[in-house]
Amino acid sequence: MRLNAKVPSGPIEQKWDRHRFDLKLVNPANKRKFNIIMVGTGLAGGSAAATLAELGYNVKAFCFQDSPRRAHSIAAQGGINAAKNYQNDGDSVFRLFYDTVKGGDYRSREANVHRLAQVSVNIIDQCAAQGVPFAREYGGTLDNRSFGGAQVSRTFYSRGQTGQQLLLGAYQALERQIAAGKVTMYPRTEMLDVVLVDGRARGIVTRDLVTGEISSHAADAVVLATGGYSNVFFLSTNAMNCNATAIWRAHRRGAHFANPCFTQIHPTCIPVSGDYQSKLTLMSESLRNDGRIWVPKEKGDKRPANQIPEAERDYYLERKYPSFGNLVPRDVASRNAKDVCDEGRGVGPTGLGVYLDFSEAIGRLGKKAISERYGNLFEMYEKITGEDPYEVPMRIYPALHYTMGGLWVDYNLMTSIDGLYAIGEANFSDHGANRLGASALMQGLADGYFVLPYTIGDYLSQHMGEKITTDHEAFVATEAAVKERTEKLLATNGTRTVDSFHRELGKLMWDHCGMARNEAGLKSALEKIPALEEEFWRDVKVVGSSDGVNQSLEKAGRVADFFELARLMCYDALERSESCGGHFREESQTPEGEALRKDDEFSYVSAWGYNQDGEPQLTKEDLEFEYVKLTQRSYK
Amino acid sequence: MDLTLKVWRQAGPDAEGRMQSYEAPGVSPEMSFLEMLDVVNERLEINGEEPIVFDHDCREGICGACSLMIDGVAHGPQAATTACQLHMRHFKDGDEVTIEPWRSAAFPVLKDLMVDRSAFDRIIQAGGYISINTGSAPDANEVLVPKVDADQAFEAAACIGCGACVAQCPNGAAQLFTSAKISHLGLVPQGQPERELRVISMVAQMEDEAFGSCTNHRECEAVCPKEISIDFIARMNRDYLKARTTSRSK
Ligand SMILES: Cc1cc2nc3c(=O)[nH]c(=O)nc-3n(C[C@H](O)[C@H](O)[C@H](O)COP(=O)(O)OP(=O)(O)OC[C@H]3O[C@@H](n4cnc5c(N)ncnc54)[C@H](O)[C@@H]3O)c2cc1C
Ligand code: SF4
Ligand code: FES
């Protein structure tokens, strides 16, 4: 099997423009003859559905929340990047492109990333025109900040609620198209399978989460915009209901899954407080600008922070990385926190935490200045922990945050199934092995507003008038399979709750496929996961019926898919015996303990094919770097 | 700590509901309110009983999904805090806690504590947007927005669409929610061309839904987790009167 990425020829800065010219168009009168299914209405799906409807297509859009306004994108805090160079500090499309490829540790496709940087500027224009209340200077122009270690100020933001404001912009554009009758919205509806006819995606099977009804929907193309899969780990910063079902079901039907082991761990989250913990809360990265990270020098030192004298504290990031100090990249900060905790020097009741201390900054700048910068974050921390960070240092620990991997897509964002597209966090496209801060919002909106609406037309124009209805046998068979699976989950009637399995799976993944991975650990995970999965299907207890609301049934279906995805992640992590970006293989490190890439062996995208009866099949898409020079990162 | 919960159980939209008691022993003060419910639910499931249904997703106070009346107060006792961000350290051993869904004619109960808030989406559909197709926007810095206006627009735009304002209002009015969106868009220059049309049609939609009318109880502002100010209601009323008296949008 070969995968064709369909990257256009020509110089990189001309590829997208040329490609747009070469794409076939659907004439305006014909657009209304096409139906497109959009699964997911977060930033990526909401913006795409609205734009496709504006162009004249008929769109059916689906989300599992009660309103598209509640998609997980709403929770993004920090901001969105764009190469506007409004600050005149030397930013450019090429610099954003370069930073993103480098930040991704050279495991992304150059052409895609360049396009992303190009359209980033249009995103800001579009959102400002929608009335998104971005932060402004007194003169009325847009304000920027520097984010995630970037050397230019290119991040646009709305206080600490950028994701919310961008999503509401897309949501409002979507509601406008719903009112115009161009989009039919199906909230509280979950897609449970894709339907293929003659190898092409022609529809989906869904469950109405209120009535329980299973139904089919046919279309000319299907787009998945269903977000990331961090919740494989049970505990993550993602919303409770984020899941991988849509992309996993597509994978089972033939869509390749790319780089599943590329996951991002965020260093500044509030630590776990007990077994009942249901999710983790992110504290903005910006805190590391003024907070100093430390642990006691002695193992097992249980004294309260303020009783540990200065000389007995280890500011380990400042010690090990004198030039970057507390501002080292996310993966480096995370791994070091894990190391000191593994040594037994972690703080807090569980020993899985490090201090983020503001006392020095408060002494230097005053409490008022600190409260102006971080007041809302300090409040949030106090709400959750009951501790006042002005008085005692915050406790933080890394947590799962983002998944760079996802469905493999070509330059047109089409998966390896004809007519099936994936956009936003659901695809693997632009972030390589590590995503830079403020770049996920950019990618979701680039895909949704500016890329997919063009590229999908090229495909549709080649399939005029090929109508299909849900009476087709493929729909009937898929619906039957979905019903059978649902009934099976309900009929098992074992002794353990879905959450208990999910928690155990998450712990396994965190221990063996989390911040640091090694061959032995991954191999043992590949034995333990199938055993747990087998127990799940034998002993899970899902109460209630499939008619009407049944939240345990919803969870059960998602967790069943997480088991299969978890295995694939371990296969991928095992196969890639180099360290790169968020993927740290203990066998591949420099003498100083830093991640060591192996470009000669691993400059490729790992695209996995599903294999019902055995090990997944790997197809490699080789990566070539013509414009960016490969270097090893160093933060010493 | 050990608590007793009195929870509204209702099997479906047309079923009759009732309050039911549950013991919640061994609650940790570090738990969030929803984690406390998770624990109760896991125990129910093990015993073969249906878990209590409630809406939730982000558990960070931003998605607006969670919607619990806790001891008669929308989102519970802590000001400016959604139910998902409320922690059990605000309760004490032996407390009896009642948990009910939003109660409002416009938000029918679907099951237990889950309600249908689609009326809010329909209010937005009536005009809660700026009509600008993708691709036709001018450079973002071509339209200047005074910082004070941008900041005030943000204050209004911070609404999470949770519906607590409606649930707490003795009349079940949606003025705070509706005025927040009208004010957000009315405060920025990009929102001016449709300003009159917007207020007329959004208010009309609000009145078509089963919401009550506003008689200035101010309960909405008191429970709003995002502290949306009722000044926005006054602003909406001014805009509305003005729009009604100009001929263009009649
Ligand atoms: C706490 C936090 C902070 C973040 N901060 C930033 C930041 O500052 N800057 C940045 O750039 N990025 C940030 N990110 C990352 C960014 O928010 C996400 O990557 C991005 O919003 C994902 O958007 P999306 O549209 O792809 O998916 P989502 O917003 O997750 O939307 C998924 C959609 O799919 C639907 N869906 C899923 N499965 C199904 C199914 N089976 N059937 C029907 N519908 C389904 C959901 O209902 C939803 O509508 C942050 C992430 C987190 C967790
Ligand atoms: S105005 Fe406040 S209470 Fe009402 S929906 Fe918005 S955030 Fe919720
Ligand atoms: S669950 Fe999102 S606001 Fe409470």
pLDDT of residue A533: 98
Q: Does B59 touch chain A (CB under 8 A)?
A: yes
Percent of chain B residues past pLDDT 70, beyond the cut: 98
Sorting pLDDT into bands at 50, 70 and 90, what band is A635? Answer: confident
Closest by Cβ to A549, choosing from B34, B110, B185: B110
- How many residue contacts between A and B have a Cβ separation below 8 Å? 218
Element (H, E) at A354: strand A354-357
Q: Is the CB of B121 under 6 A from ligand 3?
A: no
Please count the structural domains in chain B. 2
Residue A324: pLDDT above 90?
no
> Residue A207 above 80 pLDDT?
yes
Confidence bin at A150 (pLDDT 50/70/90): confident
- pLDDT bracket for residue B218 (50, 70, 90): very high
Instruction: For residue A86, list chain B residues with Cβ-Cβ distance below 8 A.
Output: 141
CA distances from residue A225 to A57, A191, A377, B147 in whole angstroms, order as listed:
17, 11, 30, 34
Q: What value of ipTM does the predicted structure carry?
A: 0.98
Residues of A identified as active-site = 330
Answer yes or no: is pLDDT of B250 > 70: no
DSSP state of A285: G
Asked whether residue B195 falls in the same domain as residue B222, the answer is: yes
| Ligand 1 atom closest to residue A401's alpha carbon, by position in its atom list | 53
Choose among B134, B6, B146: nearest CA to A176.
B134
Q: Which CATH number characterizes residue B99's domain?
A: 3.10.20.30
Decide which of A324 and B236 is more confident. B236
Percent of chain A topping pLDDT 70: 100
Q: Are residues B199 and B96 in the same domain?
A: no
Average pLDDT over residues A227-244: 98
| Statement to judge: residues B127 and B224 lie in one domain | yes
Q: Residues A285, A288, A291, A292: is their CA dihedral positive or negative?
A: positive
Nearest to B14 by CA among B97, B109, B95: B109
B105 and B223 within one domain: no
Please count the other Cβ atoms lying within 10 Å of the Cβ belonging to residue B237.
15
Q: Do the chains contact at B56 and A240, CB–CB below 8 Å? A: yes
Residues B233 and B202 in one domain: yes
- CATH number reported for the structural domain that contains residue B182 in this entry: 1.10.1060.10
Separation of CA A188 and ligand 2 centre (Å)? 21
Nearest to A293 by CA among A371, A250, A346, A368: A346
Residues A93-118 pLDDT 10s: 999 999 999 999 999 999 999 999 99
Choose from B10, B27, B35, B60 for mutation: most chain A CBs within 10 A: B60
Residues A543-560, mean pLDDT to the nearest whole number: 97
Does A335 lie at the interface with B, CB-CB under 8 angstroms?
no
A284 lines ligand 1 (CB under 6 A): no
Is this structure's pTM higher than 0.90?
Answer: yes
What per-residue confidence (pLDDT) applies to B247? 60
pLDDT band at residue A634 under the 50/70/90 scheme:
confident
pLDDT exceeds 60 at position B145 = yes
Show the domain range for B136: 117-246
Residue B242 and residue B138 in one domain: yes
Instruction: Decide which of B111, B127, B158 is a domain's last residue.
Output: B111
pLDDT > 60? residue A538: yes
Using an 8 Å CB-CB cutoff, list chain A residues near B145: 136, 140
Over residues A317-329, mean pLDDT: 90
Residues B239 and B123 reside in one and the same domain: yes
Contact B181, B159 (CB under 8 A): yes
With 70 as the cut, is the pLDDT of residue B111 above it?
Answer: yes
Residue at which a domain ends, from B85, B111, B137: B111
pLDDT in tens, A449-498: 999 999 999 999 999 989 999 999 999 999 999 999 999 999 999 999 99
B146 touches chain A (CB under 8 A): yes
A131-135: average pLDDT: 97
Residues B84 and B188 in one domain: no
At residue A289 the predicted structure's pLDDT band, cuts being 50, 70 and 90, is: confident
> A393-405, pLDDT tens digit by residue?
999 999 999 999 9
Same structural domain, B232 and B157: yes
- Note which residues in 16-45 of chain B have CB less than 8 A from chain A: 28-32, 34-36, 38-39, 42, 44-45
Give the mean pLDDT of chain A. Answer: 96
C-alpha of residue B225 to centroid of ligand 2, in Å: 7
Task: Collect all residues of chain A within an 8 Å Cβ-Cβ radius of residue B44.
Answer: 543
The domains of chain A, with CATH numbers, are 266-400 (3.90.700.10), 473-622 (1.20.58.100)
Residue to mutate (ligand 2; options B160, B168, B209; most atoms within 8 A of CB): B160
CA–CA distance, A263 with A542 (Å, rounded to integer): 30
- B4-44 pLDDT, tens digit each: 999 999 999 999 999 999 999 999 999 999 999 999 999 99
Residue A348 confidence (pLDDT): 94
**Which pLDDT score is estimated for A7?**
97
Q: Which two tokens stand for residue A289?
A: 């600008």
Mean pLDDT of B134-163: 97
* Contact across the interface for B154 and A54, Cβ inside 8 Å: no
Question: Does residue B25 sit in the same domain as residue B107?
Answer: yes
- pLDDT category at A148 given cuts 50, 70, 90 is confident
Q: Are residues B84 and B180 in the same domain?
A: no
List the structure tokens of B65: 């999904």
Q: From residue A448, give the alpha-carbon distance in Å to each of A42, A55, A63, A425, A507.
A: 10, 13, 16, 11, 34
- Measured CA distances, A546 to A210, A482, A561, B242 (Å): 10, 12, 18, 52
Counting ligands in written order, the one closest to the CA of B160 is 2
Q: What is the pLDDT of residue A343?
A: 95
The answer to whether residues A267 and A333 touch, using CB atoms and an 8 Å cutoff, is yes
A441-460, pLDDT tens digit by residue? 999 999 999 999 999 999 99
Which residue among B92, B111, B130 closes a domain?
B111
Q: How many Å lie between the alpha carbon of A365 and the closest alpha carbon of chain B? A: 25
Q: What is the predicted pLDDT for the residue at A613?
A: 84
Same-domain check for residues B8 and B102: yes
Confidence of residue B248 (pLDDT cuts 50, 70, 90): low
Identity of residue A223: V
pLDDT at A268: 94
